[in-house]
Structure 1
């Protein structure tokens, strides 16, 4: 058997702990406030700044709230554009150190996978319970963590939400990794967080699915064959390393490097993609669901 790592000290449990990362969170919030202050001083809206630096308005807003980590190129561009005199550019090294420390915002059982994900050059995800974490909106993620049993504290919920949003930075990097997701149609009918949160989540799926290099496929409910009945899984290839697989179920998680197990999951994923709607059919289905709301 290859390297199979299980979450928790016992090798099975996935305990939730409230790690103290106030210093990291405060740093990102303070840096975001500085960007906002400089932007407003320059008489510029979030949309205008986003257009100049090549980000989306929503991403600029998340950075200013301390919910997303500003990339070095954003700090350099904003520093020049907002006439910050080096105030933002000089923070790049501090941001990198904070990002490394912020990894512990993830629960202990998830950190090995999170480390691989950050280095990923290829990622394929089959989901049949919830929207994949990399595609979740902030409101959807917050709703999911808030309904966790046993209940999490508000502090832990916000920590988990921030960590999940930070993971999504890999979707904005260039050169872009290869991404694909196969999502069971049942997930799209589950309005977690309420109607408004769910509608925004469907729009987010459309946005990602229309992005070059990212493929979303929906596995329809009427299929008489389903290659993923053993449950969801992720195939991930870190740079310069063999492909791994990751599985979560209830209180257990597995990070698998045994190449025979990975090969089998690869074969299943290929079948799932063949059984699913095409990418365009999938986006059309999501658009139809939004139109019916």
Structure 2
């Protein structure tokens, strides 16, 4: 089975985002009311102070409408309350590819999530500027609506860290992810500052695998492990254009052993924080 976020857990686009049924339905309601009012998309956009391209993206179910759009649209289209009510049923996971949704569902309910990354800062830990840099540099290129849709999905997903204080999150990040300087000095400095901020949460542990570590148990590539409320374990491995959701207990046992070894090979929590503070101060 395959799974991961539009663009990967960490990286830029890796599959087209699939509009959810609720987004399509909301968009159809907006379009129907707009056409009943005799307004073109451009005319409607001027009235609600959004571009006609944004209006088109909402109507086609490709963009999650924000509260300002809903309120402005209500005012222009009769203030019946229909759009406000419809907005309550919108999917909270815009921009998720079909092949990610299974993992996203498991991730949202997990009581424990372990992540090792050797390519990019994990999506759950990215700043908006860092994520935008990834999406802007995606190959093949994304249009503006796709970038905003995928960025919204990533930022929405990050709410898990604070909304699920009883879930344990463990991250092991390669030091070279920050030495790359992706996006430039300010983006990297902001990314490190964000890691330090998130590391203060009681349910989050961030460890750095130093470049001085010549070998470790994670050389086979990135991985994620999670435990469900009924104590089942799943794993996820990711590649360039897709990912593999793993439920086989033998395979998961191997990955658990590797992750446990990496936790002992990476810097301690305190030493990781000190290294991040040092790196931030040198930028």
**Scaled by the length of structure 2, what TM-score is found?**
0.73
Partner of 2:93: 103
SS of aligned partner of 1:156: helix
Q: 1:124 aligns with which of 114, 121, 124?
A: 114
* Gap regions ≥5 residues in structure 1: 9-13, 34-86
CA contact (8 A) 2:238 2:244 kept: yes
Partner of 1:26: 65
Deviations 1:13-65 (A, max 9, x none): x53246484266224444799xxxxxxxxxxxxxxxxxxxxxxxxxxxxxxxx
Q: Find the structure with the greater CA-based Rg.
A: 2
Partner of 2:244: 254
Between the aligned partners of 2:150 and 2:86, the Cα distance in structure 1 is 22
SS of aligned partner of 2:64: helix
In structure 2, do the counterparts of structure 1 residues 6 and 227 end up closer, same or farther at CA, with 3 Å as the change threshold? same
1:273 equivalent in alignment to 2:263? yes
CA contact (8 A) 2:3 2:242 kept: yes
Between the aligned partners of 2:88 and 2:247, the Cα distance in structure 1 is 28
CA contact (8 A) 2:110 2:167 kept: yes
Deviations 1:250-280 (A, max 9, x none): 1131111111111110100000010000011
List structure 1 runs of 4+ shifted beyond 6 angstroms.
none
* Gap regions ≥5 residues in structure 2: 5-13, 24-57, 73-80
Between the aligned partners of 1:127 and 1:32, the Cα distance in structure 2 is 40
In structure 2, do the counterparts of structure 1 residues 108 and 292 end up closer, same or farther at CA, with 3 Å as the change threshold? same
Which is worse superposed, 269-278 or 151-160? 151-160
Partner of 1:149: 139
CA contact (8 A) 1:18 1:156 kept: no
Structure 1 residue 144: Cα displacement:
0.8
Q: 2:104 aligns with which of 92, 114, 128?
A: 114
Q: 1:195 aligns with which of 185, 192, 196?
A: 185
Partner of 2:43: none
Between the aligned partners of 2:133 and 2:256, the Cα distance in structure 1 is 31
Partner of 1:16: 16
Partner of 1:36: none
1:6 equivalent in alignment to 2:2? yes
CA contact (8 A) 2:17 2:95 kept: no
**Scaled by the length of structure 1, what TM-score is found?**
0.71
Between the aligned partners of 1:149 and 1:280, the Cα distance in structure 2 is 38
SS of aligned partner of 1:264: helix
Partner of 1:245: 235
Between the aligned partners of 1:97 and 1:263, the Cα distance in structure 2 is 39
Between the aligned partners of 2:124 and 2:3, the Cα distance in structure 1 is 20
Between the aligned partners of 2:113 and 2:71, the Cα distance in structure 1 is 30
CA contact (8 A) 1:188 1:202 kept: yes
1:220 equivalent in alignment to 2:210? yes
Deviations 1:175-206 (A, max 9, x none): 42001100011111121122111111100000
CA contact (8 A) 1:124 1:180 kept: yes
Partner of 1:236: 226
